[in-house]
Structure 1
Amino acid sequence: MPDTRFFQTLSPLTVAELAAQIGGEVERGGDRTIASVAPLSSADGGAIAFLGDRKFVAALAGTRAGCVIVPAEAVASAPAEAAVIISRTPQASWAMASALLHRPVTLDRAIQASEAAEDDSVVIEPGVVLGEGVRIGRGTRICANTVIGPGVQIGRDCVIGSNVTVGFALIGDRVKLYAGARIGEAGFGATGTAAGAMDIPQLGRVILQDGVTVGANSCIDRGAYDDTVIGENTKIDNLVMVGHNCVIGRNNLMAANTGISGSVTSGDNVIFGGKAGIGDHITIGEGARVAAGAGVLANIPAGETWSGYPARPIRQFLRETIWLAKQASSKKAPKES
């Protein structure tokens, strides 16, 4: 179930009612009541999940979801106890079901600083907007013209810079967010339909653990369903992008213009050079280093340094670079007569 501080859960619907509104066909269990959406792996008897790729058939067979949305050819793989909706575009149908069952809490009313602050040591500068349910810990400063969305929890001794926006987020102690940082915006998720691409509702959160620093104009997207997590004492430079569902370890360093695609996992003590780019669903081991400008398209083992595009172990990259340079220099242009 999405965090109720950030998402309102709407009235439950029967499987038949959902199917009628998302363009699906009920295979069985039309009278079952569904109250929420979830992935196959974490869904319970009151949730609806979907199969978007055949590689997740094993997860479909083991799901505890009350209802699953599947293509016609996957009906036999669905658990016998689950209700089933058939759809040609299961992910799009699930996205529509998400919008019918959950709605982000909006900033309809601003609260006074005294309602949010733990005590008088909290400093709220001019122009700050605080949503309902915001809590701010002792010794924290919120700088001018920043917007803190409903339900956000901010720890003690933090500094939230000017013109920052924070939503759908839980923030630890001693966190620094520099000017213009964007925390908790919707992750980049879209799926195809007959009418073109549609957005997938993003129902997760951002969790910034103690001691995290986020540079100016950097963006950290909330999860699609699970959380985006930035580990303790990680330091993020200016103009860095962290996509949805990423789990970043402790004491990571990310230099400017680094781009981390969705669902990346990094271990502790990983270093990302400037303008490094990481493909989605990549795992980077503890103590690894990604050189500046590298494009990572494969998992990096712990302790290794990778460079180049596509990135590979740095010794291999240097050998190939030297070989290419030698080949180029050995082919001299013919002299003019």
Structure 2
Amino acid sequence: MPDSRFFDSLPAVTVAQLGDRIGGTVVRGGDRSIIAVAPLALADANAVAFLADRKFTEALKATVAGCVIVPAAAVDHVPAGSAVIVSPEPQAAWARASLILHRAIAIGAGPRAVLEDDDVVIEPGVVLGQGTSIGRGTRIGANTVIGPGVQIGRNCQIGSNASIGFALIGDRVRILSGARIGEPGFGAAGSSAGPIDVPQLGRVILQDGVSVGANSCIDRGAYDDTVIGENTKIDNLVMIGHNCVIGRNCLMAAHTGISGSVTVGDNVMFGGKAGIGDHIRIGDGARVAGGAGVLADIPAGETWSGYPAKPIRQSLREAVWLARQVSRKASPAPKDQAE
């Protein structure tokens, strides 16, 4: 279930009602009650999941979801205990189901923010959502918005004009002005009516000692969490997509962009303007050179550069070879050959 500090659970629906509202055809189990959405691997008997890609067929066969939304060709792979809704656009149908069963809590009436001690400093123009908790010694800069349910630890420094939502923040965290923490990740599902947004139901977790630079963005998870490990330092204008898990003591220079569902080990360094493709794994102690475009997993301890990124020695050899070929073609022919 999505975290109740950030999301309201809406009334349960039957599979038959759900099928009607998302445009699917109920094959079996129409009277079953559904209260939540979840991925195949995490769904329980009260949740609806979906299959949109055949590579997850084994996960479908093992699921205990109460209901599964699948294309017609996958019906035979659904376990006997699960209700079935058939849709030609399963992910889009699941996204519609998310909106029926869950809703993000908006800033409004509710429990007041809890400040641990009198030495918490709240500068002018700050908005604190209901149920927010702020630890002692923390300072919140002018005009910053802290969303409902956000938990901020002790001795943190939050700059001005930042926004933080759907987040759990440790002690001694520094977030500079204009940073955006917990906005929805970029997720869209194709449908007959065009792409539709997939609701993002996860959180952001910033562990102790993390620094986030000015105007950087860290998206909340689609369902799981986006996690930034202890003492990781993020420069200005960095983008971290949904579901990323970043290790401890990592360094990210400005304009680094990390796509969704990337896993980064401890003590990894990213040069400025490095770009990482989605679902990549980067091992402990690896280094990514400035401007590199990473499209494959990087083993622990290696340094990669170039586009597409490769081990740095290979990348440099190829760059030198290419420069020599260009130089030879550009050189004028010797005079005796020209005659």
* Amino acid paired to 1:36: A
- Of 134, 158, 165, which aligns to 1:160? 158
Describe how 1:1-337 pairs up with structure 2 within 5 A.
Answer: 1-109=1-109, 115-331=113-329, 332-334=331-333
**1:201-232 Cα distance to aligned partner (Å, 9 max, x none):** 00000000000000000000000000000000
Distance across 2 between alignment mates of 1:280 and 1:64: 28
Unaligned runs of 5+ in 2: none
Q: Hey, what's the Cα distance between the residues in 1 that align with 2:122 and 2:72?
A: 56
Check conservation: 1:15, 1:33, Cα contact below 8 A. Answer: yes
Mapped to 1, the partners of 2:109 and 2:236 lie a distance apart of: 31
Provide TM-score, normalisation by structure 2: 0.97
Inter-partner Cα distance in structure 2 for 1:242 and 1:9: 27
Whether the 8 Å CA contact 2:276–2:295 is kept in 1: the answer is yes
How many positions carry a matched residue from both structures? 335
- For 1:268 and 1:294, the matched residues in 2 are separated by 19
Give the whole-Å Cα distance in 2 for the aligned partners of 1:150 and 1:305. Answer: 41
Kindly indicate whether the alpha-carbon contact (under 8 Å) linking 2:111 and 2:130 is maintained by their aligned counterparts in 1: yes
**8 Å Cα contact 2:237/2:256 also seen in 1:** yes
Deviation at 1:328, TM superposition (A): 1.5
Root mean square deviation, CA, Å: 1.2
8 Å Cα contact 1:110-1:129 kept in structure 2: no
**Conserved? CA contact 1:169–1:184, under 8 Å:** yes
Distance 1:198 1:16 in 2: 23
2:268 and 2:256 mapped to 1: Cα distance?
13
Q: Is the 8 A contact 1:111 1:130 kept in 2?
A: no
Aligned with 2:31: secondary structure?
Answer: coil
Give 1:116 deviation, angstroms: 2.1
Quick one: distance in 2 between partners of 1:111 and 1:333?
Answer: 79
Q: Counterparts of 1:84 and 1:108 in 2: how far apart (Å)? A: 38
1:104-133 CA distances to partner (integer Å, 9 max, x unpaired)?
000124876xx4210101111111000000
CA offset at residue 330 of structure 1? 1.8
Looking at structure 2, the residues matched to 322 and 172 of structure 1 have their Cα atoms a distance apart, in angstroms, of 46
What whole-Å deviation, never above 9, does each CA across 1:229-254 have from its counterpart, x for those lacking one? 00000000000000000000001100
2:286 counterpart letter in structure 1: A
> Is the Cα contact below 8 Å between 2:283 and 2:298 reproduced in 1?
yes
For normalisation by structure 1, the TM-score amounts to 0.98
Q: Whole-Å Cα distance in 2 between the matches of residues 178 and 116 of structure 1?
A: 22
Using the alignment, how far apart are the partners of 1:300 and 1:23 within structure 2? 42
Contact 1:37 1:47 in 2 (8 A): yes
- Residue aligned with 2:284, SS: coil
Deviations, residues 2-21 of structure 1 (Å, cap 9, x unaligned) = 00000000000000000000
Secondary structure class of the residue paired with 1:180:
coil
